[in-house]
Chains A and B, each alone.
Chain A
Amino acid sequence: MLKRCAKCGLPETYETIEFDDRQVCNICRQKDYKDSEIDWDARKRLLGSLIEEYRGKHDYDCLIPFSGGKDSTYTLNYLVREYRVKPLVIQFNHGFMRSNLNLNNERTFKKLGVDVLSFTPNWKLVKRLMKEALIRKGDFCWHCHTGIFAYPMHVAIKYNVPLIFWGEPSSEYTAYYDYRDNEIEQVDETRFNRFVNLGITAQDMEGMIKHDFELDPRDLTPYTYPKIRDLKKIGFRSVCLGSYIPWDVRRNVDEIKRDLGWQGDRVENMPFEYWPYEKIECYMQGVRDYIKWLKRGYSRVTQMAALDIRNERMTRDKADELVNRYEGRRPPSLDLFLEYLEIDEKEFNRIVEQTVIPPHRPDFIRIVPGDKTDDFGQWFREKA
């Protein structure tokens, strides 16, 4: 039995979680602080002056890294509509973009009228990176985590656009940065090393894969954080919009639906009626959630429910009911994943088992299959 937060239900295996003497977790506590202690008016004024500081000084007012999920879509929409910034939108194509996402993005870019650069890394390398990351850390998304955060920094330097806006602050989900410190989160290399890259840098990866993968050292540049001096010299400021305005996911989604016709999508093993907008950008999400379930004993449903409980939009009982019904099913996308990595399910289970977080113990015997999404047939297969 895992120890859980008395309020939101997140278990002790959740990263950075700490319980106080009432067994309420630090993420709940920092949310309380966010609601009552932060002077959001003052923060908004800071945002205004930050934007003015950089407006018009370079080819673009700012850089906005963009995935097309609810957070980056909201960020782009907000900055363009409220502040009329001229952004350079940077998209990192992780290799698993879903058709609904692509439609959303086309609609967004055309309605807002913005310049967009999209970068798709070498797929062969991506497959090898996924495998190594899975083995080392039980998390195959290394290329995506690092690419999304490192690649735009290279673009900032190359294009000399020093102001970079990200979306939600990490304090919404974890305590690596705490709202209670009342600081603007810096999205920099320290943050990258603290929890984005799983503790593995591109240079580490190079040594780990080069014995069986033909690698040109430059292949890993998109995943490598640029030198701090180069960033300091352009006067970089890399911040989250959510440090300046209070982040409210449900409100944000309503706004982008209204302004841009943004649409949610079904995700494997998630109740669509409750969370139609979460993690819709990637068709490997089901596998990601499944691995989390095996490693830590909880998954996406628990996390989303915790957020809603904290925002007083759901009761604990309802949350428990949804968790029991949806969590822990085997996603159909796992078949694709095994194909990409050229391993079988037995090997997959063995690898994941090495990375389990105590005191949790996964059940590899009773496996319940989950449902396919509508676009499953469109997802890339290695064998035709």
Chain B
Amino acid sequence: MIGILDVDIGNLRSLSNAVYSLGYDFRMVSEPSQFEALSHLLIPGVGAYGTAMQRIEERGVRAAIVEFAATGAPVLGICLGMQILSSWGEEGGRCEGLGIVPGRVVPLDPGNGLTLPHVGWNTARFSSVHPVLHQVKTERDFYFVHSYHFVCEDARHAIATCDYGQSFNAIVASRNVLGFQFHPEKSQTNGLKLLENFCAWNGRC
């Protein structure tokens, strides 16, 4: 059973529809007791780092998420969901994250007259292999919407990059935990393939 975290930090419709159309069953989880039956956890998110962490605390699911990740079951953070996997984020003042993938989230600084947020189709360049990247080619485009980016403490966790005035991490991966900065549920065929690979993954590399 695929779990999708639902603590009012983003639109879940497209993501749950995607999982469903790929032939998987899912449930929304918003409290600790619901994590038990899950085989996988998806953490979607749109908005501000601080707000997201606040909602997670309010619902009391912070520990449940961290513990679930510790069991070795596959976890995928999407967009803001990826960012909050980090140790801390800078948006609106320093805010502590889930601390599952060591790193920090800081503003994009593209320069060159490029505006923020970074919105649109841009190219993800894979730098490592990973089970979830199976049959998805490198140098393909995905849909991005963000103004901040994830800087990894451990360079080995950065497995794909993207360029928007500066280079930043498009995918981070640490053992059974994965993060996509782009929206796979908005990235058509390749996005769906990544989601399908994730849902079929057992969390082992």
Contact = CB atoms under 8 A, between A and B. Distances in A.
Nearest to A236: B23
Interface string A232-265: 1100000000000000000000000000000000
A190 B21 CA distance: 14
A190 B20 CA distance: 17
Nearest to B135: A183
A164 to B, nearest CB: 17
Contact of B189 (A190, A227, A232, A233): A190
Contacts of B21: 227-229, 232
Interface in B8-26: 20-23
B72 to A, nearest CB: 26
Interface residues of A, number: 6
Interface string B21-63: 1110000000000000000000000000000000000000000
Contacts of A228: 21-23
Contacts of A233: 23
Interface of B: 20-23, 189
Interface of A: 190, 227-229, 232-233
A228 B23 CA distance: 8
Nearest to B23: A232
Nearest to B20: A229
B23 A229 contact: yes
Contacts of A232: 21-23
A60 B151 CA distance: 53
Contacts of A190: 189
A233 B21 CA distance: 10
B203 to A, nearest CB: 21
A190 B189 CA distance: 9
Nearest to A227: B21
Top 6 nearest A-B pairs (CB, nearest first) are A232-B23, A233-B23, A228-B21, A229-B21, A229-B23, A232-B22
Contacts of A227: 21
Nearest to A230: B23
B19 to A, nearest CB: 10
A243 B189 CA distance: 20
B149 to A, nearest CB: 31
A114 B126 CA distance: 48
B74 to A, nearest CB: 19
A161 B23 CA distance: 17
13 contacts: A190-B189, A227-B21, A228-B21, A228-B22, A228-B23, A229-B20, A229-B21, A229-B22, A229-B23, A232-B21, A232-B22, A232-B23, A233-B23
B26 to A, nearest CB: 12
Contacts of B189: 190
Given A228-B21, A229-B20, A232-B21, 4 more contacts: A228-B23, A229-B21, A232-B23, A233-B23
B86 to A, nearest CB: 34
A229 B22 CA distance: 6
A243 to B, nearest CB: 15
B139 to A, nearest CB: 13
A228 to B, nearest CB: 5
Residue among B20, B23, B189 with most chain A CB within 10 A: B23
A50 B170 CA distance: 34
A190 B193 CA distance: 13
A39 B166 CA distance: 39
Nearest to B196: A232
A238 to B, nearest CB: 15
Nearest to B137: A181
B141 to A, nearest CB: 16
Contacts of B23: 228-229, 232-233
B99 to A, nearest CB: 36
A198 B31 CA distance: 48
B126 to A, nearest CB: 17
A227 B23 CA distance: 10
A260 B171 CA distance: 55
A160 to B, nearest CB: 15
A291 B22 CA distance: 40
A2 to B, nearest CB: 33
Nearest to A183: B135
Nearest to A228: B21
Contacts of B20: 229
Contacts of A229: 20-23
A229 B189 CA distance: 15
A233 B189 CA distance: 18
A233 B22 CA distance: 8
B185 to A, nearest CB: 14
B110 to A, nearest CB: 32
A207 B23 CA distance: 30
A232 B196 CA distance: 11
